[in-house]
Structures are given as C-alpha cells and as structure tokens.
Structure 1
C-alpha cells in the first residue's frame, strides 16, 4: 500500500512538473539582441542602434520567421558593441542574442536554438600579398586584425596570438588595405561581404583555420518549452526550404 501511494505521489509530481514546464504565458516575450554582422544581421540605416523596421540580414529573417511560426512574441534590437549584448543575454532573463558561435566553453551558459548558418574562420590578405600560411603558428609572425570580443578573437588569444582587435570588424578592411595589419582574421562569408560594402574585392584566403555553427543563444532561465517550440519551427523551415531561400536571397 505504501509503495502504491509513493508511486502515485511521484506520478502526480511528474505530471504537475510537466504541466508547469509546458505553461508558457500567452504574453511571454523574448528580447532579442543582435549586432552589425553582415550578411547575417545588419542595420539598414548604417547605425549601431536599430529596431525591427531597420534590421535586415539572413539571421534577422530566419529568426523572425522562426518566432512567428513558434507563436512566441519578440522584440528585436541591434546594439553595439557585441560584448555588451552578449553580457545582457547571459545575465537578463527573457533575453537572447544572435548570431552566436556555439563553442564548448559557451555551451552550458545558454540555451541554444539552431544552427542558423555556418561561419568559417579564415585569414584574409590583400590580392597582391605574398603571404602563404599552413597553420596558425605561421601566422604568429604577422600583425593580425580581429573583431574585439568575437569568438575568433577569443580563439586566437587562447592560442597565444595577440590580434590587434577593432570595435567593428569592417574597420579591419581599411587597416588591411593601408598596411596597418597583414592578416584579417574573420568569418566567411561575413568578411567578404563587409569588404564588398567598403568597396574592396579580390581579397585572398590564405588559411581556413576553424569553423563554427551560428545559433540563437537564449538566457539559461528561458523555459524549455520556448526553446523546443523555436527549435521545432526552425527544423520545419529548414525541411521546407525556407532557410535555403533566405540564404540564397543574400549570397547569390
């Protein structure tokens, strides 16, 4: 009898736990933060602060459609710099940041939805540069430009390199062209897209040293039901070709 009563209590506990887990208030809203990181996210007005009506990019479209399909409300804002919005998403319940590389050291800090897209890590040089690399170790002798606080910047520092970091990645285009740096450590396709916006083409890839998948990183207190609904919506968008169509509209 005691065993049956114990099992019944445990069963009710699991039931109430599941119900509580599934209950997401109808007015639950996620504050989404992003940065200027073309072609994934960018401000159409060219500024470092923008709201939904002035945002564009692959991830902006994918994430926005994903939330609509999941039936979850959101507000989307572009701010600067990356380190600030990353910290906000990490510390403030109901917040998320995109696009973020899902690295081992970050994995337990957030709840993740994705992948939204790839980010290959490359070293770019000017078209007429004689530099040739086989490894990051060989890059150590050169001046390397990177984006302050970005996953690539962090990775290089952990490898013992000391990149000359800029607050905006597009600043590295001018630095590369005028000789302030020899190598530009950036993402692909982001780097080439930024260079094109600055009127620069023909940059060469001399090293592809890593890659990462880009995700939406949600504050760890985000309800699991919200995360699951968003992931399901994204999986459906990938299966029906929506994600591919959005990508093609920017990169072709």
Structure 2
C-alpha cells in the first residue's frame, strides 16, 4: 500500500464513527475529536445522559450525530447497534469500543455477579461489537477499530479483578483481531489512558495517600487531562496510521516506565 502523506492524512471527512459510551466521560472527548476532523458520529449509551451536550458539540464541528440507547450486554445488542448505525448513516468506518465499568472489592469479598457484570461489558460486549463491525468493514476492505484499554491492560489491580482481567483481555483481543483483519485493510489498535483527571477519578486524585503516590509515579509529574487522548484517537482513526496495527498506545505521561 503506497501512502502519500499530506495534510489530509488526518482527515476523517466522509467517515462514520461509532463510539460506545460516547456521550460522557472520556468517550465524549473521542466523539468531539473525531467530529472535529470531519467524521459523523453514532453514539451508543445505556442512558440518554449527556446526549444534548454531545449533540451540540458534534454539530458545532459541522458534523451529524445519531444516538441509540442500548445496554451492550443484552443478547443481540451488537447486531442491533451496527444495524442502527448503518440505518442512520449508511456506512461504518471507525469503531471506538469505549464503554466500560469498574467494581472494587477486597479479594475474599468479591462477588460472582460483579465479576460477570464487568466481564460482560468490558470484554464480551467489545468482542461482539468488533465481530459485527468486522462483517461490515471486511466487505468494504477498510476500517479502523479502536479499543480502549487501561493501565490495567499491563498491571495488577488488587481490588478490581474483573476490570484487570477484562483490560488484559482487550489487549489480547486487539492483537488477535489486528492479525486476522489485516488482509482486509482494517487496522485494530487501542489507547490505554493513564491517570486522567475526570469526575470518576476525583476521589483518587483527592485521596491523601494514593493521590500523591500516583503523582510521584508519573515521570511527567502530572495527571493527564481528557484532551490529551483526543490526538491519539484521531491518529488511530485516520489514514496517518494505516501501517500501525495491533498496538495498544499508552497515553500515560510515562506512568508505565516506573
């Protein structure tokens, strides 16, 4: 594949991106970033929280947005989601598997149903959605799948067992899918956010012990902000990354170096 690199290499004009959990948290930043570079965005979430705000921000970038309220862990959800995106926009070029959850508990108290819940959303739903998207992308001989990993794709999490297992699984699945889909000109990569300042991590940032501990572990000395994930996602969604596949890109200020 001969590539000519120019300013349009990062352009997503004419592309359609599906972002799970794309109306809140880091997912909203991915939706904004992709629309900023010209993609229309289809957002799936379990509730309608943040939809108005997401619509405003995507439309402000001159792009269209579609929504579907769906629990991704339901039987048949993946097919329904992909069909809804196709019904709205007629095509699918980029899938961002962002939706996820985390449950904490001590090792001996960890509940079976909490294990099931986290694995079902973070790993199983991501697999089924990638599988359905692959059926569309292989036909058109192009596509980008971007999986959201975590520092727990690499490290232990002694209170978040299913989360750690799921995010290790996401890393493995990213590699396996990248290998399998490469002949169809589909790239499968991931981003692994480090410690990012969000509402969800606020208690951790303010924790008198854990807060400073994390900060001292980051070579850059600072927690990241959500905007710092926007560039990497645009890169992985664009032609600029056509020869990059099977990679989980840590966006962590160097956290994993120590």
TM-score w.r.t. length of structure 2:
0.28
Larger radius of gyration: 1
Greater fraction of residues in strand:
1
TM-score w.r.t. length of structure 1:
0.28
